[in-house]
Chains A and B, each alone.
Chain A
Amino acid sequence: MHEPTPIPIHELPTDPDPSGEAPGTAVPPGVEQAIDVLIGLVTLATNAAASILRGDEEPGAGAEGATLVTGAAAGFLIEGLRAAGAVLTAFERTLVAPATTVAGAAAERPEIRELLEHWQASWEEQRDQSEPVAADTLRRGIRRGADALMDQLDLTQLVIDHLDIQRVAEQIDIDALVGGLDIDRLIDRMDMDRLASRIDIDALVARLDVEAVVDNLDVAAIAADVIDELDLPQLIRDATADITSDGVRTARLRGVGADRALRRAVDRILARSEATDTGERR
């Protein structure tokens, strides 16, 4: 009950470094991060400058010297930044920390709190209008920047130079891709007639190796099967055993005709009725 709950803001700047470093030399996280970023940027710039000076692949004696100079310059800058970091830390400790403490204490006061809340409300109001405008502006800016960048870069050539298509292809799961395709729908959308009319059947047939197909077929076995089924020898015997020349056929037909004529004549002589005409017997 006696101990007041600590205010979160209070803790941030004043809290000593958990690593147990001396408070005087310890750099607060915010400042440290900023310094790290700056050092990183400087290193990058240095490297870039060095590579530009050196040329791409062939290092010269002069270029070596230039690299040394830029490196030294970068080192000097980093040292300066570290020193500045120490100064900044001191500044933060003496000025910013008490200010935030005061701000935190003031926020506890109701009237001030009310005022702060009023300001925040007006900020929230404005925010809805301002934020999209800001985002839009930013987006346009980025796009313009990207366009400018792209104008300078031959992206296609870059992709060709650096992309290992083979490796990319290895990563693609063709089965999953094909499985996702709705072949039926694809076929529905195709005009088969038009497709068929564009196929040169003659050329296709010309490319067919019919002889190879026939070679693969056991024609002799098939023919033997067919002959077995037909009983061809019996068929030939049946067809040739009969005397079927035109002369014989005519003689036979005339004989049959004469038989009938005689039958009719005899029936007339014997006065047989037509109903019992045996010439037309079954």
Chain B
Amino acid sequence: MTDPRFRVETVPLEARGFQGQPAGLITRVAANVIDLAAVLVALVVCYLATAGVLFLRRGARFSFPIVSYPTAFWAGLLALVVYFAVSWATGGRTYGDRVLGLRVTTAAGLGLGGARATVRAVLSALFPVLLLWVAVSRASRSIQDLVVGTVVIYDWGPARRVIASGDAIGVAVDVASPVAHEAEDRNAEAVTGLDRER
């Protein structure tokens, strides 16, 4: 890794204060909208590509393929799940997360494993409404987060360190997550409590 002396802080000064804090509902919804749009664009591109191949094969007899709504829905759902799972398992962020400076990590601040990422992807794709719990949750966590034990934080920095974790692909954010801080604080309190007892 790069010598710490030569590390360049890419996060703007005004954004450094809230790095690692749990992200709110608005940014997460915005990120999901972008992700949805991206998947839709991808689906359209796939449809047009298929049409192009058909046009080359059929020539004059070519007509646009007709896709039923259920087929389109399940295809879109599958695409979304795969996209979410792969994105969170590899980098902890989808394209939408990246645009809005978000990252999905475990409660301990580590990267998600493939299994956890897949479960979270299925839940997010099937029940996007559960995301609204973020607004109510004190820790800004959605139902999906609570189920799989994840947290979404502000993380504008690109650098991440791969560290050893229980998951298959352990990607930890460079900026320490608040949850990790809380865990440390709790430990510290326990120790000071012990000290007081003595």
Binding site for B on A (CB under 8 A): 229-231, 234-235, 238-239, 241-244, 248-249, 251-253, 255-256, 258-260, 262-263, 266, 270, 272, 276, 278-279, 281-282
Other-chain residue from A229, A235, A255, A278 in contact with B30 (beta carbon distance below 8 A)? A255
Contact bitstring B127-141, A, C-beta under 8 A = 1, else 0: 000000001101110
In the complex formed, the residue of B with least CB distance to A263 is B24
Are A255 and B100 interface neighbours, CB within 8 A? yes
Measured CB to CB, the closest approach of chain B to A223, in angstroms, equals 15
- B138: which of A259, A276, A282 is its contact (CB, 8 Å)? A276
Q: Return B4 CB to nearest CB of chain A, in Å.
A: 11
Interface flags, B20-56, vs A, CB<8A=1, else 0 = 0111111100100000000000000000000000000
Beyond A231-B2, A278-B139, whether A259 also contacts B98 by CB under 8 A is no
Task: Known pairs A251-B100, A262-B24, A282-B182; list 20 more (Cβ under 8 Å).
Answer: A229-B6, A230-B2, A238-B158, A242-B156, A242-B158, A243-B99, A244-B10, A252-B101, A253-B14, A255-B24, A255-B30, A256-B27, A259-B23, A259-B26, A263-B24, A266-B135, A278-B22, A281-B22, A281-B140, A282-B21
B12 within 8 A of A: yes
What are the nearest 9 A-B pairs in CB distance?
A259-B24, A255-B27, A241-B158, A242-B158, A258-B26, A231-B2, A278-B138, A252-B101, A234-B2
Partner of A282, one of B12, B156, B178: B178
Residues of B within 8 A of A253 (CB): 14-15
Among the listed B2, B25, B99, B136, which residue makes an inter-chain contact with A251, where contact means beta carbons less than 8 Å apart? B99
Residues of B close to A272: CB separation below 8 A: 138
Chain A CB within 8 A of B18 CB? yes
Q: A252-B15, A259-B24 are in contact. Are A230 and B6 (CB under 8 A)?
A: yes
B76 interface hit (Cβ, 8 Å): no
In the complex, what's the smallest C-beta–C-beta distance from A271 to chain B, in angstroms? 13
Whether a CB of chain A sits under 8 angstroms from the CB of B8 is yes
CB distance from B174 to the nearest CB of A (A): 10
Residue ID in chain A nearest B159 by CB atoms? A238
What's the Cα separation between A249 and B12 when bound, in Å? 9
A258-B27, A259-B25 known; A230+B3 contact, CB < 8 A:
yes
B154 at the interface (CB under 8 A from A): yes
Complex Cα distance, B24 from A262, in Å, reads: 8
Contacts of B141-198 to chain A: CB distance below 8 A: 154, 156-159, 178, 181-182
* A242:B136 contact, CB within 8 angstroms: no
Of the candidates A244, A255, A262, the one having the most CB atoms from chain B within 10 angstroms of its own CB is A255
Q: Are B138 and A256 in contact (CB under 8 A)?
A: no
Given the contacts A251-B99, A281-B21, A259 and B27 also touching, CB distance less than 8 Å: yes
